[in-house]
Each structure stands twice: as structure tokens, then as C-alpha cells.
Structure 1
């Protein structure tokens, strides 16, 4: 029998797949070791970052969330560092970048500052006053006339922020007292005057009496307003309530002209609506000083009823005690009765009457 044929040559290569598998396993093990080495390197980088985080905020500033979050943005670069061979002498680029002192943030002029009172509209109006935008201020007030309660709260503090509040208000109202505009324009001008008085009539810093040219302009305005009332109504006492109130507020804001008659100031007070604006006018010191002269003039004329109401409304009892006024009234009434009795006894035919009655 013939011997069996020799095995084919391919049979000798049968151990090759096993060797390839062993070689691949060895390569995978090497890669796994390399991965763990890179992972340990990454852990060391992260530890270095966390150790360097506390010194980031400046000593005189509170921590900034943006600054704290900034080192996290460097983590995407960590794969680049992982690919490089580990070196104990090379400085850690991530740690060096974090440890560098950051420059102090430059304060922005307007945006970072919080709104005063948390109201952006009030802050906008305050900025208008700061740049003395009289026309812009009037237009802004007209646009918000539907919310009077907000304006009464927001306008006085905004006016105090102006470099020269008196000039700002006087320029804003213009000459509406001679040429009245629309209903909203008149109401806005009156509200600006009222708010200026409620703010305490603030002046430019460093001045106690105000600018001479502003006082002269306000005096001319008050007298021109009075002239218009006399021409249109015949007398000041017949003025409409809004006209009387506006003129009073103008004089309370900038002073009462010496040429203005005391009697007409008294009439304006009652034409303005029964002393309804007394609470605002009491904020003006120079108006109260003038009002004392007006009250004294009216008492000397024997006008007690309305004068006493004015004294009570403006809290002038210290200067004009009501007990003294009551005593004066009683004495005057007694003298009047005595005069009437004497005149009646001396009437023609009075003796005959008294004789017939007896």
C-alpha cells in the first residue's frame, strides 16, 4: 500500500490565527495600560485645577460666578495634554493658566448699575434729568400721564439727580402759562411744578438762593400769568382751578413776586380748590414766609372765616394762635353791636318809638 500523501502546505500555517490573537491581546493590554496612564495624568490635571481655584477672586472683590466657571472652559484642551507623553519636569499648562492673576473687571458706566427702585422707566427718567434734557423730560412725562401715581412717586427723586433742577423744570414748562397747549401738556407742566415743590425745591449744588436770571425769569412768568388771568377773567378770584393751582405752584417753586398783591394770593388759594394743594405748598419755605404776610393782611381786614381755614390747612397756629383770633373776633363783634345800638337810638323818630313802647 502506498504511504499517505503529505499534508498540504496550508496546514503548517494553522497556528497563525492563534498567534495573531495573542499578538492583538498583547497590543490591547499595552493600550489599556497607556489609557490608564493617561487617565491618571488627567486626574492629576483636574486636581491641580481644583487646588488653584480658590486664589482666583481678587482680595477686594466678591467672587464672580463668571470667573469661577471660566476654568471649566479649559477642560476641552485636556485631550491634547493626554496625547503628549507625561513628563515630570514640564510645567502643567492648564495649572499655569489658572494660577495667573486675572485683571480686575472694568466697571461699566451704566449697565451694571442696578436700577434705582428696580424700575427701568424711573432710571431712564433719572438719566434724562442728569443730562438736563428739558424737552425730553416733558415728552416723557406726557407719555406717562396715564399713570399719575407712578409719576408722583418717580419724578421728585429724578429731579434731584439733575445738575440744576430749577433750570431743568423752568425750561421744561416753557411759556405754557401764556400759550396753553393741549390738555396733557398743561397737566404735565403742572405735575413737573408740583413734583419740584414736593422735592423741596432743590437748587444747584453750592447755591442757597438760586440763579439770579432764573429768579428774574420766574418772576416775569408769574406776573405774565396773572396778567392773562386778569385780562381773560376780569379778576384773579375768577380763575379756573387749574389756572389758580398752576400759578400757585409756580410761585411756590421759584418765589412770590413782591408786586403780587396779598389779597390776590389769598383768592388764588381758594380758587385752586379749597386749599386742596396745601400739603404740597407747605414744602416750599419761601411760599410759607409770604403766606404769613398774606394771613396777617387778611386778619387786619377782618376776614376771619376763610383766614382761619387757611391757618389750619397750612399749620400756622404757632404764628397765629386761634385763641387770640377768637378773642379778637369776640371783641370786634361786641364793638359792632355797640355801634349798631348807638346808630339805632339816633335814628330819626326813634325817640317816638321808644316812647310809644314805654
Structure 2
């Protein structure tokens, strides 16, 4: 690819993972080969406004406060010429035109298929999974449904609607206690980076955890506790995906929560994970199977539990995993033989390939 290719890196967003996105974007911008690509940035504020030319590092340091001189932009939905325009009518570099969008967005309105739908309507090429892959990968309840169909082993779980719990909590609490027992994990169905996730060891903790998760989503997933090693595998590709070597997480906290992932350096990553060759092959096979089950594209990280008797349970898939300096996804590929800069280059290539393939179809008679 030549320098003529313009890549728009988009970050921030309205989800609880806004800050994670800023850190991920800093790492990607550092890694991308700017001698080969013309890189522009767009930061999405917590209010959902899009600003051109934002520096994610400065935004993080300022608490994502938008400079009064920041240029607010919007995506033009002209399938024949997708581009960005300034709402203040200011000229943008290259008239706002681009060759590919690299959305480094985690959580709702970024990783869940919504912004991907926006890009599809505008005929804009982008990195990562499409609408279906993003939405299935984000919704833990629907993710489990397609994983079950694919024959992937998972922890037992119960899905609860916030409205149901508020209407009649007692039978729901009783069902959780009898079917799953303690300890159990309570998760918002549509969120990532362990935001809003709690571990409950008794009824009072369970009620408090449900209240917390309910702040983030209308749908909650409660899972049984699996005692095992936390293993992650990175997947890269489109229709012929490949799996990386597995890595193991030794969390600084009771489980790998938000603080352990992004703030507490006491957590340790073992790459590659010390596992038997047979277990490694099974994990890689299951990771690819999970990727294909949700119809992911480009990249994903699949999380597992491996018990002492070598039973494997799929925990979840992340279709836009973290890219921070301590994130597992780029570290796994680096250990597999693909350094960070090459990884970013491959993701750009995969995004363009997917776009070309999708456009090679008819959507009307």
C-alpha cells in the first residue's frame, strides 16, 4: 500500500470503556506505519459528538474534555463518495475522504454492530467485524446461544431481564441459588472490559451485584463459577482465520476485573501459556470455531477456562479486544511471530479485503 491510503482512526465513544479506548488508540497510533499511511484521527466524546484531529493521549490526560477549538465532524452518507465534513464548514485534509476506518472502540455503540451499520450504510471500508459479528460478540446471552449451537462447552448460566428482577426478585434469586450456587458471576449482557461484573458469594452480594450490573444493561447474565486457569487466544483473519499461541492471565485481583486489566500492574501474563500440546491445539481449534460461530472478521480474542483435569470452557469472545501496552491480543500475536506494526498492517489489509468481498454482491434485482 502507498502513502495515498488514508486511514481514519476512531476512538473514545459513549460506553463505559471510553478510557480504555483512548489507551488502545494511543498504542495503535504508535504502531501504525505512518510512512506508509496518511493517518487522521476522530475522537467520539462521551456525549456522542465526533471531533476531528483529537490526540487520544491529551484527551486521556484532560479527562476527555473537548477543546473549544476542536472541529466537530460528521460522516456523509453518500455511498458513491463516503467522507467526513466539518459542521463548521472548515476544510478537512483530503476533503474528508478516506480509504479505511479503523474503529478502536470498545463496548456499546462501538463494538456491538451499531457503528458498523453506520459504516455499511455509508459504503465505508473498516477494520473488524461487521454488524452481525459485532452484535453477537457483544451480547453475552446471544453469544452463548450460537456457541451452544456450535457445540462449544460453556459454564452454566441464567439470563435475567432487569424489568423481571424489579417486578419479582425472589424467584429469580432462588433459581440462581439452586441452579448455579455460590460463588457466581453477575455480568451486564452487553458490555466488555469486565465493567459492571461482580462475583457474589452470598445473597446480599448477589443482590448488590445485580443492582450494579443493572446500571449498565437491561439484560444480565449470571454464570456459575468455574475454577480454572484463565487462558486467552487471539484470532486473526476473515474467512480463513488463524489462532495464536495461548496466553495465561494471573490476575492481581480475585478475578480479571477492569482494574486488573488496565490499572493494576500486579496482574501477570504468561505468553505462551504453559500447557500440554494437546490442550493448546484444542484451544486454538475452539477459538477459531467461536470466531466463525459469531461470524467475526479481522480480529477477536477468545477467553477460556482450563480446569485441573484439562476440561476447557469457552468464556466469551471479544471482537475488538484491547490494544493497550499490557493488552493480551497484540502480545499473543507478537509471541506467535507477528509484531505489532505488522499486526496493524494485516488488520488494515483484512478490512480492505472484506470490503471488496462484500461489494462483490447484488442487493437488489
* Structure richer in strand, relative to its length: 2
TM-score normalised per structure 1? 0.19
Higher alpha-carbon Rg: 1
TM-score normalised per structure 2? 0.19
Q: Which of 1 and 2 has higher RCO (CA within 8 Å, sep 6+)?
A: 2
* Structure richer in helix, relative to its length: 1
